[in-house]
A and B are shown apart, each in its own frame.
Chain A
């Protein structure tokens, strides 16, 4: 019988809780306190930075905010110590949420910019604390604050407090990892734009992760204020905290909920083993060397291998039936599903779309053709919410999409593929398809989403690759992975951006049958393609774009004969 990981966390917690009853020397309790303290800081950092890939160097700021909250409340205002901890969590979380609300809104602040910005926040907070009455430059002495007698000795009390917090933190990291939030965060890590277009509310998710991360760091700061009993700005806001948590998490493995805890234990242990004696400096160098070697040979961290393996499915593997579930009920055909009017978009002076009007009727395959750079992909990017339009309107089933966030557009039943496939590179092929099933129109639970995903992998012929990473797929298979992902959200409107390019003619035959089968199940399709044979065979109607404008519209045969289409698009040989 396998014990679930949550069970192991509880067992470990209970076993460790028994330690003080054996009355070990206070020294050991203090050492274990430090282990727990670092587990909390590293694990909480990882909830945002490891899961979502938003690398933060600002953990010291949130930790420090909690620390000084407790120092101020308990030391200066004489609030009982335990009561200051929720306040420490709240202040740190509010600081984080405030920063997140601004930074995440700005959108393009990722990677090194985010890391530097969070580091800068640390210095700002440090300066505010230093130059106000919060600290005033002399530090805050908590020596006189009474410590609640939870255990018989102060060291046992700190031990238990830190243990409870560490267990809670690891459990929260575990729960988020397995929850919808975790799935969304890992998708954000790989490709945030695609995640949003597939229905993940990225702004809210990042904010939630940051809030939880900061609150936990805040509590750790609160407890630590009492532990060290004399707090100074220099110690609190130094670069040590952010650097150490990053190292610990990377060492343990940022893609696993337990990775940072392992890393924290190993590094704290190593630091103790090598630096507690006389040769402290050499010891530190040795620790550094060990870290370099480990990171060189285990780039994914100690748990990297474990995390790169997709999580095993619980319960019996779903047996995909033949595709029977229609993506959407084939309601009254012929009515307007999507109406686009006077839509315009320009990029740095280049007018990509210039007042485009078009409508998509329910149940049809509308071909969208035109030269490279004529605005076809831009149109798809606007309808799917990837870009915002400059002007014009888009109405889908009577609902105005124009100012809607991309994840809401996805939920309302629009799915797309990318011309250059953009799979989530660290998720298995199956998980790539599970994501839109969980976040798209139907918003299925995980088990149902996995069944749905398997069905569509079967449909696109990728079932044999379900457990592989997208890296293992060739271009043809990646294009079909795009298709499977779009279908898994059971869209009412499917936007296909060149899914057929790069196929051999005989492969094309199969693909054309596949797309017909999708339409027969009731989906409406907007089909961007240069392969004329597929356009002529599949589409009911086509719209021809050139320089961001509609130059022709009608049945494929009729529109392709127009002289302006021949000149702009087909070239002389087709005339």
Chain B
């Protein structure tokens, strides 16, 4: 289990997250929804070790990760697919994937990881030597996910994987995420496409102004009228 216990994160003088507690069980698909500026990206980056934690505790299966160095996180089995993909656009598809398995243990299993990624996203195999920047938006998102999988994580953090994708590709993306989760991977999903995210999630948290405003199963959350209104954009 990946657990955040009253985590506080500050950006300079401003506090972005106020004592946020969430947990993700092994193999679980959890999503976080909330308005822009609520701190969703800050949260996901804190779990990946990209934001330093001012107070509180981040632990994985009992091990304390709160003060772990950034570069150690992928060895712990946590990998992030950042918002906007952040690929190495000048490098080829293969090079991007190989960089995902840069650490020793991941490198030892590179062959096998590559095969897994290609099974999941066959289109990447077809474009192996193309520079990442020349892929379409959907393919780039697949590559970003593939690169994260190369680190052989047990917890995959996805920050807005459907951003800027055409409707047909969004569907593909969600079913790929669902497939990854079904194969046993725990997934934390931050999404603006609330309807589709809740559709595949087992549990969800609502983050508002840096605080957890609600949590529960998608069914419970969707039963609350104000959540329906705020996140599904349904007028009364």
A:479-530 near B, CB below 8 Å? 498, 501-509, 530
Q: How far is the CB of B130 from chain A (nearest CB, A)?
A: 10
Complex Cα gap A20–B160 (Å): 69
Tell me the complex Cα distance, A574–B35, Å. Answer: 26
Question: Contact between B36 and A503 (Cβ–Cβ < 8 Å)?
Answer: yes
Contact of A307 with B by CB under 8 A: no
Cβ–Cβ < 8 Å partners of B163 in chain A: 501-502
How far apart sit A530 and B235, CA to CA, in the bound complex (Å)? 21
**CB neighbours of A530 from chain B (8 A):** 164-167, 170
Is A506 touching B233 in the complex (CB atoms < 8 A)?
A: yes
Contact residues of A between 546 and 575, Cβ < 8 Å to B: 568-574
Q: Is the CB of B166 within 8 A of A372?
A: yes
Interface residues of A in 327-372 (CB under 8 A from B): 347-348, 350, 369-372
Q: How far is the CB of A538 from chain B (nearest CB, A)?
A: 14
A-binding segment of B17-25, B134-142, B217-225: B134-142
Q: Are A420 and B84 in contact (CB under 8 A)?
A: yes
- Indicate if A16 sits at the interface (CB-CB under 8 A): no
Q: Which of A406-428 contact B (CB under 8 A)?
A: 419-420
A477 and B170 alpha carbons, distance in the complex (Å)? 24
B192 lies within 8 A of A503 (CB): yes
CA distance A571 to B34 in the complex (A): 27
Tell yes or no: B37 within 8 A of A by CB: yes
Give the total number of A-B pairs whose CB atoms are below 8 A apart.
Answer: 90
* Chain A residues in 8 Å Cβ range of B137: 372-373
Give Cα A508 to B193, complex, Å: 12
Q: Indicate if A475 sits at the interface (CB-CB under 8 A).
A: yes
- The answer, among A348, A370, A508, for a CB contact under 8 Å with B166, is A370
In the complex, the answer to whether A371 meets B166 with C-beta atoms within 8 Å is yes
B 70-102 contacts with A by CB, 8 A: 83-84
CB distance from A175 to the nearest CB of B (A): 35
**What is the chain B residue whose CB lies nearest that of A570?**
B167
A476 at the binding interface (Cβ < 8 Å): yes
Task: Please indicate which of the listed interface residues B136, B160, B172, B233 has the most CB atoms of chain A within 10 Å of its own CB.
Answer: B233
Closest to A573 in B: B171
Q: Chain B residues near A501 (CB, 8 Å)? A: 163-164
Q: Cβ of B192 and Cβ of A574 under 8 Å apart?
A: no
- A569 near B233 with CB under 8 A, answer no
> Given A372-B136, A501-B163 in contact, is the A475-B83 Cβ separation under 8 Å?
yes
Point out the residues of chain A lying under 8 angstroms from B172, CB to CB. 571
In the complex, chain B residues whose CB is within 8 Å of the CB of A508: 233
Whether B230 lies near A371 (C-beta < 8 A) is no
Of the residues B84, B160, B171, B229, contact of A571 by C-beta under 8 Å: B171
CB distance from A543 to the nearest CB of B (A): 15
Residue A292 is within 8 A (CB to CB) of chain B in the complex: no
Assembly CA distance A499 to B150 (angstroms) = 32
A460-481: which have CB < 8 Å to B? 474-477
Q: What's the minimum C-beta distance from B235 to chain A, rounded to whole angstroms?
A: 8
Q: A532: CB under 8 A from chain B?
A: yes
Which residue of A373, A498, A574 is within 8 Å of B167 (Cβ)? A574
Verify A571–B233 contact, CB threshold 8 A: no
A509-B233 contact, Cβ under 8 Å, with A373-B136, A503-B192, A504-B194: yes
Question: Contact at B167–A502, with CB atoms within 8 Å?
Answer: no
Asked if B180 CB lies within 8 Å of chain A CBs, one says no
Cα A372 to Cα B143 with chains together (Å): 15
* Residues in chain A near residue B230, CB distance under 8 A: 504-506
Give the residues in chain A near B138, CB-CB below 8 Å.
371-373
Which of B41, B169, B232 contacts A371 (CB under 8 A)?
B169
The winner among A347, A475, A508 for most chain B CB atoms within 10 A is A475
Residue in B36, B171, B235 whose CB lies within 8 Å of A502: B36
A547, B235: Cα distance in complex, Å: 37
Give A347 to B130 CA distance when docked, in angstroms. Answer: 13
Which residues of A are found within 8 Å of B233, using beta-carbon distances?
504-506, 508-509, 533
Contact B134 A504 (CB under 8 A): no
Among residues 115 to 156 in chain B, which have CB atoms less than 8 Å away from a CB atom of chain A? Answer: 134-139
The docked-state distance in angstroms from the alpha carbon of A574 to that of B34 is 26
- Contact of A476 with B36 in the complex, beta carbons under 8 Å: yes
A36 to chain B minimum Cβ distance, whole angstroms, is: 41
For the A-B complex with A371-B138, A474-B41, A505-B233 known, give 17 more contacts whose Cβ atoms are closer than 8 Å.
A348-B134, A370-B166, A371-B166, A371-B168, A372-B166, A419-B164, A475-B83, A477-B37, A498-B164, A502-B192, A504-B36, A504-B194, A506-B231, A506-B233, A509-B235, A569-B167, A571-B172
Binding site for B on A (CB under 8 A): 347-348, 350, 369-373, 419-420, 474-477, 498, 501-509, 530, 532-533, 568-574
Enumerate 22 A-B pairs (CB-CB under 8 Å) in ascending A order. Answer: A373-B135, A373-B137, A420-B84, A474-B36, A476-B37, A477-B36, A501-B164, A502-B192, A503-B192, A504-B34, A504-B192, A505-B194, A505-B234, A507-B35, A509-B233, A509-B235, A530-B165, A530-B166, A530-B170, A569-B166, A571-B167, A571-B172
Across the A-B interface, the 4 shortest Cβ-Cβ residue pairs: A505-B233, A571-B168, A373-B136, A372-B137
